[in-house]
Structure 1
Amino acid sequence: MIDQLPQELLEQILGYLPTASSITNVSQANRKLYAAVRKGENVIFHDFVKRQFPTIAAEPPWLEAGLRLTSRSRAWDRRAFVARECVPPRAKSNEAVQNGRNQTFGFMPVIDSYETVDADQPKVREVLAWGAGGRIVARTTKGKSIKWSSFSFPEDDRPENDILDLRLLRPHQNRNQQGESMFIRRANRELALLHWTPGKNDWVVAATYLVPPETAIDCVDLSEDADPLIAVCNSGSIHLFPLHTSKAKNHAMTVLLLAETATTKQRKRCAKFLSSSRIAIAPQYLEGRQPAPIEIFDTKPTESPSTHIQALQQLEPNILSGNRVSGRIGANVLARVDKTGASDSDLLLSGWSDGVVRLYDLQTSHNPIREFSDPVDDGQIFSVLPIGQERFLAGSHQNGCLKTFDMRLDGRVYDYTSAIPNSHESSSSGLSRARRSSGRDINIFLAVTTQRGAPPSRPLHLQRGARASTYRGSLYSLSSPSPSSPTVYVGIENHVVQLDFINSDDLQNNRGGIRDHLDDRHVLNLSCYERPRLGHESTDPVLLRKQTWQKDLSKTPEGNNVEAGWDECWHMERLRASKEKTGSWRLPARPSRRRGSASRTS
């Protein structure tokens, strides 16, 4: 009998089971097995997570990690998520972000977030912060406790004072014993380190970083080391600052001069540290029609400060596509695809102005190893967010379109249908493998209702009336607290939307405690559609599905008929086909006007 096996051997065997429910079923066989599973749950679920989710950098406690990952995987497969707006408490009148007189455009939120688990209490603690014009909004969540903080710079309604970059310091980087820290860049060239105490408006500017007035600031990035480096980049140089110093005002520790590689006028669009000694920088050409390659530089100091350094590599944008793009293209955003247990990365995900997301492996080639495109929406990619090495999200610059892509570099291990009894047979649940949906990726429309001229601080659910319209602008930023988190934050004009990937039945039973913080007024009913496969645009149907919020499911006939491979919150509507030759469907693009014009792609 299995319950007669030694504890160590039993732990090794149970760690090979394919689902979390199968481990739970074994523990319910008798009291001895229950006690053995409870005693060795850290070892069992550690092995389970490492085998079933090998590309996700999960952290203990392993029981909670296993349950979160299996629930999130099922939600992703069934396209199940709850969308709601992040609405801070009503601010004081002197702290609210207001539109300037005769100003008709809003701010671009820059978002960062992280989560950690306290060693003494197995509760996830999440920190979220975003820039709202010239104001910072921060939220700390732990269990049922939510603490908000905010900070406003003088004249925060003026676009020249907007926050353009915001990076939260992770626990291994933070030296503020009283609370949290963040690094920010503002449109007025200010670079600063801020300390604040969660739940209080005690904000302190701990340090500032000075760049000569004649030096342009195109983009910045912060390394992920315990002693982070700040890289301030422009077309001719990289200024490196140590983040932690004893001085209130700091000058660059090292200035790296860049050799000219192109004869056309350019600026640096974005930068991303790949390790403590390597940085990827994406230039944007302002003249001509030549595509701009991504450049990799060594950030170690050179022997001669006056020497111009050459790029270690140049990553070409579209060699694998077969046809050279005639228009001028460049990368708008860069993101590392982290390897489990590694501090550096050779995998770089990049979103481009031609609407293509390209994945590079710096160890193999200067060409992309994979390209991801959307045959329906070819808008520029303004934001990307890798989910381990399984999936990634991409934000388009038009139609409020959030795109999901299946990356799966190392193959897929966990399959939630393995936990369903008789999943290989036809069943009334509609979740059998034979009847599951096509598995095509989806585009999610953040087509929320916005009112032109409304103050940015007004929640979306209050923006109604004759001047209200559907948001068809850009998705400027994406953030997730960790590779194993079920939550994604999306920045649209003037607002931050939170997507929690959780199934309707999990929500109804309050698994994970999501309903503890759920305000029905802020929940958004969104729509999505499956993208046609490349080469099958004329044959794959483009079907629009709309969400029905949980409380309304019992009132709609669609909520009683679960479609295979979809969560029960979805119901179908057929899209009107366009007259284009491709047979694809697209929404009319509406130009988005926003603050931060310095970061707009030309």
Structure 2
Amino acid sequence: MLQNLPFELLSQIISELPNAQDLARLSSCNKALHAFVEKDGWKTFVQTRFPSKSVKDNWKAAAHSLTTTSRNYDRKAFIARYLEPSNFIVKLPGRDLENQWRKPRGQTMGYQPIISSYEESTGKSWDSLKQVLAWSAGSELVIRIKEMGGGGALKPERRGTYSYLDHYGHRTRWFTYKPPKSVEGRDDITTLKLMSGGYREGSMSNSATEHVIMGTASGKLFLSHLELERSSHNTLGSVFETSGRAVRSADLSPTTQELLAASLGDSSVVLYKVPQYLYSAPEICESVDSLSERSVALDGSGGRGHRIWSTRFLSDGLLALGLGPSSKPVHIYKVTNEGLSQEPIRKFGVDRTAWVDGLEEVTESPDTKVKQSSIYPIVPLSATTSSGHAQGEVFLSGGYDGIIRLHDLRSSSPYVSTYFDPTDDASIYSLQALGRERIVAGSSRHSSLKFWDLRVSGGRCYHYTDLNVAETQSRPTESSQNGWNLFLNPRNTLQVNGGRGGPRWRRDRATESPVYSLSTPSSTSPTLFAGVENNVVELDFVSMLDKHPDPIFKNGITRDQRGNINVNRSWNPKGDVLNFAMYEQAKSGDLRLKTQAGVGLYQSTLKGYDERWRDGGS
């Protein structure tokens, strides 16, 4: 009998099962198999099918959540809303109270949001989470705190905490913070990082304090400690010395968050040591000098438009810069205890002319015009024991030419794979890796999000999860298949009212906006945030007709006496869900626009898609 097999063989069988339903059926065969599956089976399944996801326990619930989210991505099932502070809004640091948030005014265009988010476990159940979201609105910082799960519906906290339950039954609080003496249009926030993980664990901070690094166009770079539950005017913990140079971008070392790298002005990259936070912000803020500084040589003698565009840690020991226009717009520096390496240890180009049919590199003649481009976002791909590469060795870059390139430090090639939309060459302004399964990019035009699935072998030949040395010498591969574009332009008319807690949506020039930033709270989260002009869009990948949705959303479900889900009351109680349009990428150019119907409208559904999608030509 199957249950009499050694545990090792049972684990091997489970690792070959394609979906969670098969494992659940195996578990129902008898008590012995049920016990094994509950103890070890779900863990084996999650680690095999979702190796890039950070999961430590609650394996059965994790399998439910991850498989549900994966299916929703495949079926393009999501609920989208504009985000805006509502109900009770606490102004930090004095904790003054507002019930209506006003967007920045006085400029010729809306603000360009920079987004940062994270989530952390707060209990024993899978859905017991605290999610923190922050974005920049001109010179102001907006923060949302959500508490989820815990095995039952949450209740608003006691008077004075200014929380309410949102449409999912999550306890929600809103805060805003404007740094001292900041002026709209001059001190706009250009870079934003929420401190989480290693920094919070090692800094003796309580859960009611958020640590935020912000840089501004006027050359200010500082670490603020925002105490959410009490008035505290000592918000500035540290000020990093910039010599008044504009802060273009910044990033934190990923593991401990002890190092801060920032690009200042057009061509300087500076490394700082982040001071530790003990119990409360100091009375006098600490001034932090640079640990090391490097000036980056830019092609074109540093003319107009030549600059460092992005700064990103690939690992604690590797820092990547995206710059341009340049023939080699990606520079990699080594990070040590003494600071940055004197020169880049590697430069990556964007030109293909060095590749010939024999897979040999050729030396270009002096008359050959080398392709130049600018690189905006850079994103490392996560490494696990099964990935075949170390952390930081494989990463993505998004270019001015609309191409996403996959780079590998172990390869002599400038890049080993590309992702692009053959019908739209708009620049890539933002990138987000969704584990090792998918990537999403923000375009410079039409408020467009571009999705690619990295798992499909038919979509590309190069798989960084099982790369070997021989494969690193092969020709770069191209992938424009299995991608789809989503337009973040609402096709429905939303409510406009100024009532307390009610939606007050305005288009505010967002129709043709770039997607400036992207963020997801964790590798296991079903939520994606996108920043367009004057707005932040939240996309929750969930299906409205799913009888067993992700546990994170279960508290918002309303059912009738027969157990049937009331779709409108469960998913759209305020009438603020957005209807978008999308198309799937194809080299043939045969594009079919698809549009979302309103909540509760499910006739003429398309096979393989969420029930809300309609053929745009019908």
> Structure 2 CA distance, aligned partners of 1:532 and 1:459?
43
Residue identity (%): 27
Kindly state the Cα deviation for residue 310 of structure 1 after the two structures are TM-superposed: 1.6
- Residue 512 of structure 1, aligned match among 551, 556, 560: 551
1:75 aligns with 72
> Structure 2 CA distance, aligned partners of 1:456 and 1:260?
52
- Residue 489 of structure 1, aligned match among 526, 529, 533: 529
Contact 1:149/1:199 (8 A) holds in 2? no
2:172 aligns with 146
Kindly state the Cα deviation for residue 197 of structure 1 after the two structures are TM-superposed: 4.3
Contact 1:397/1:474 (8 A) holds in 2? yes
Kindly state the Cα deviation for residue 502 of structure 1 after the two structures are TM-superposed: 1.9
1:17 aligns with 17
- 1:338 equivalenced with 2:382 (yes/no): yes
* 1:404-456 Cα distance to aligned partner (Å, 9 max, x none): 112238899xxxxxxxxxxxxxxxxxxxxxxxxx97321001013799xx999
Contact 1:334/1:351 (8 A) holds in 2? yes
- Residue 116 of structure 1, aligned match among 99, 116, 120: 120
* 1:443-493 Cα distance to aligned partner (Å, 9 max, x none): 001013799xx99999996446xx987712110110111222211111111
- Residue 392 of structure 1, aligned match among 439, 446, 453: 439
- 1:531 equivalenced with 2:568 (yes/no): no
2:43 aligns with 46
SS at match of 2:199: coil
- Residue 131 of structure 2, aligned match among 126, 131, 134: 126
The residue type equivalent to 1:117 in the other structure is S
The alpha-carbon distance between structure 1 residues 484 and 567, as it changes in their structure 2 partners (threshold 3 A), is same
- 1:173 equivalenced with 2:215 (yes/no): no
Contact 1:181/1:194 (8 A) holds in 2? yes
Return the TM-score normalized by structure 1. Answer: 0.77
> Structure 2 CA distance, aligned partners of 1:106 and 1:456?
20
> Structure 1 CA distance, aligned partners of 2:498 and 2:72?
32
1:406 aligns with 453
Kindly state the Cα deviation for residue 171 of structure 1 after the two structures are TM-superposed: 2.7
The alpha-carbon distance between structure 1 residues 61 and 94, as it changes in their structure 2 partners (threshold 3 A), is closer
Higher mean displacement: 7-16 or 19-28: 7-16
- Residue 309 of structure 1, aligned match among 342, 347, 350: 342
* 1:320-355 Cα distance to aligned partner (Å, 9 max, x none): 797998885200111111112688311121111111
- 1:293 equivalenced with 2:329 (yes/no): yes
The alpha-carbon distance between structure 1 residues 567 and 120, as it changes in their structure 2 partners (threshold 3 A), is closer
* 1:368-423 Cα distance to aligned partner (Å, 9 max, x none): 111111122211110011112221001101111100112238899xxxxxxxxxxx
Contact 1:449/1:471 (8 A) holds in 2? no
SS at match of 1:503: coil
Contact 1:59/1:65 (8 A) holds in 2? no
Contact 2:86/2:101 (8 A) holds in 1? no
> Structure 2 CA distance, aligned partners of 1:458 and 1:442?
38
1:244 aligns with 275
SS at match of 2:175: strand
Contact 2:187/2:216 (8 A) holds in 1? yes
Contact 2:299/2:324 (8 A) holds in 1? no
Higher mean displacement: 126-135 or 170-179: 170-179
SS at match of 2:608: coil
> Structure 2 CA distance, aligned partners of 1:321 and 1:401?
32
> Structure 1 CA distance, aligned partners of 2:508 and 2:293?
49
> Structure 2 CA distance, aligned partners of 1:168 and 1:10?
43
Contact 1:16/1:47 (8 A) holds in 2? no
Contact 1:137/1:149 (8 A) holds in 2? yes
2:153 aligns with none
* 1:163-186 Cα distance to aligned partner (Å, 9 max, x none): 211111123221222433221112
> Structure 2 CA distance, aligned partners of 1:397 and 1:111?
17
Return the TM-score normalized by structure 2. Answer: 0.75
The residue type equivalent to 2:219 in the other structure is R
Kindly state the Cα deviation for residue 358 of structure 1 after the two structures are TM-superposed: 0.9
> Structure 1 CA distance, aligned partners of 2:62 and 2:209?
26
> Structure 2 CA distance, aligned partners of 1:269 and 1:459?
38
Contact 1:227/1:242 (8 A) holds in 2? no
Kindly state the Cα deviation for residue 5 of structure 1 after the two structures are TM-superposed: 6.1
> Structure 2 CA distance, aligned partners of 1:187 and 1:509?
47
The alpha-carbon distance between structure 1 residues 45 and 351, as it changes in their structure 2 partners (threshold 3 A), is same
> Structure 1 CA distance, aligned partners of 2:415 and 2:59?
35
* 1:262-289 Cα distance to aligned partner (Å, 9 max, x none): 451132111111222221112234xxxx
SS at match of 1:173: helix
> Structure 2 CA distance, aligned partners of 1:221 and 1:4?
52
Contact 2:432/2:440 (8 A) holds in 1? yes
Kindly state the Cα deviation for residue 364 of structure 1 after the two structures are TM-superposed: 0.9
> Structure 2 CA distance, aligned partners of 1:239 and 1:450?
46
The residue type equivalent to 1:27 in the other structure is S
Kindly state the Cα deviation for residue 32 of structure 1 after the two structures are TM-superposed: 5.5
- Residue 594 of structure 2, aligned match among 533, 545, 554: 545
> Structure 2 CA distance, aligned partners of 1:383 and 1:224?
19
The residue type equivalent to 2:18 in the other structure is P
Kindly state the Cα deviation for residue 497 of structure 1 after the two structures are TM-superposed: 0.8
The alpha-carbon distance between structure 1 residues 493 and 9, as it changes in their structure 2 partners (threshold 3 A), is same
- Residue 308 of structure 2, aligned match among 219, 244, 268: 268
The alpha-carbon distance between structure 1 residues 198 and 339, as it changes in their structure 2 partners (threshold 3 A), is farther
2:221 aligns with 191
> Structure 1 CA distance, aligned partners of 2:376 and 2:446?
18
* 1:537-579 Cα distance to aligned partner (Å, 9 max, x none): 2xxx2111111233233xxx32xxx32221211110139xxxx
The alpha-carbon distance between structure 1 residues 65 and 120, as it changes in their structure 2 partners (threshold 3 A), is closer
Kindly state the Cα deviation for residue 75 of structure 1 after the two structures are TM-superposed: 1.1
> Structure 2 CA distance, aligned partners of 1:379 and 1:529?
15
The alpha-carbon distance between structure 1 residues 106 and 6, as it changes in their structure 2 partners (threshold 3 A), is same
> Structure 2 CA distance, aligned partners of 1:150 and 1:251?
26
Matches within 5 A, 1:343-362: 344-362=391-409
1:521 aligns with 575
Contact 1:239/1:253 (8 A) holds in 2? yes
The alpha-carbon distance between structure 1 residues 455 and 371, as it changes in their structure 2 partners (threshold 3 A), is farther
Kindly state the Cα deviation for residue 152 of structure 1 after the two structures are TM-superposed: 2.5
Matches within 5 A, 1:203-214: 204-213=234-243
* 1:183-216 Cα distance to aligned partner (Å, 9 max, x none): 1112232222222345777675242233242655
Contact 1:107/1:493 (8 A) holds in 2? yes
> Structure 1 CA distance, aligned partners of 2:78 and 2:354?
33
> Structure 1 CA distance, aligned partners of 2:271 and 2:39?
42
1:587 aligns with none
- 1:565 equivalenced with 2:616 (yes/no): no
SS at match of 1:552: coil
SS at match of 2:57: coil
> Structure 1 CA distance, aligned partners of 2:523 and 2:543?
19
The alpha-carbon distance between structure 1 residues 259 and 509, as it changes in their structure 2 partners (threshold 3 A), is closer
> Structure 2 CA distance, aligned partners of 1:112 and 1:240?
20
The alpha-carbon distance between structure 1 residues 243 and 445, as it changes in their structure 2 partners (threshold 3 A), is same
State the Cα RMSD in Å. 3.6
> Structure 2 CA distance, aligned partners of 1:267 and 1:162?
19
* 1:120-170 Cα distance to aligned partner (Å, 9 max, x none): 444233221111222222222222322332223357671212221111112
1:426 aligns with none
- Residue 105 of structure 2, aligned match among 92, 100, 109: 100
1:479 aligns with 519
